[in-house]
Amino acid sequence: MAVAPVFPKIIRRRSKLHGWGVFAREPINKNKRIVTYDGELIDHKESYTRETTYLDRGEIWCFTVNRRWVRDAHVGGNVARFINHACKPNCYSEVVGKTIWIRAARNIEAGEELTYDYHTDGDHIIQCRCRPGCTRML
Ligand SMILES: [Zn+2]
């Protein structure tokens, strides 16, 4: 019988970066799989329509899986949708099939906020708030 994998303990809390954030509750080793980015599987055409609405509200929910699919975390999303973007993040995303994994880019200490680079490919109309003075648009 397969043993269910154990994932690091994480928690949603208010973030200094933006709105909600997700924080490590225990040390996480580099490259450890932390959580999947869940969301409804939709095609790019549908994603474009929804993103227009989301971006008007300053929100980013749609995560590109591949050339065919996008996951919309506004529908059926899990805690991963609250992980903030950062230009120098401590996590990275990895797509395996239609599953998006958030993994540790380095050793992370308990209490650190988790971040990854969204690599957005849209209209870049949201100001990045990952650190004071960041000029990137998402
Ligand atoms: Zn930034």
Instruction: For residue range 60-82, list pLDDT tens digits in order.
Output: 999 999 999 999 999 999 999 99
pLDDT reading at 134 higher than 80? yes
- Report the predicted TM-score, pTM, of the whole model to 2 decimal places: 0.92
Q: Is the pLDDT of residue 98 over 80?
A: yes
pLDDT of 24-74, one tens digit each?
A: 999 999 999 999 999 999 999 999 999 999 988 888 999 999 999 999 999
User: In this predicted structure, what is the pLDDT of residue 4?
Assistant: 79
> Which of the four pLDDT bands, split at 50, 70 and 90, describes residue 2?
confident
Distance 68 CA to ligand 1 centre (A): 28
Question: Ligand 1 centroid vs 135 CA: distance in angstroms?
Answer: 7
Q: How far does the centroid of ligand 1 lie from the alpha carbon of residue 121, in Å?
A: 15
Determine which helix (DSSP H) or strand (DSSP E) holds 48, and give its type and residue range: helix 44-56
Locate the DSSP E strands across 59-131: 62-64, 69-72, 84-85, 91-96, 99-104, 115-116
The environment of the single-atom ion ligand 1, i.e. residues with CB closer than 5 A, is 87, 128, 130, 134, 136
- CATH number, span 10-116: 2.170.270.10
CA of 82 from ligand 1 middle (Å) equals: 16
Please state the domain extents for the chain.
10-116
Alpha carbon of 127 to ligand 1 centroid (Å): 8
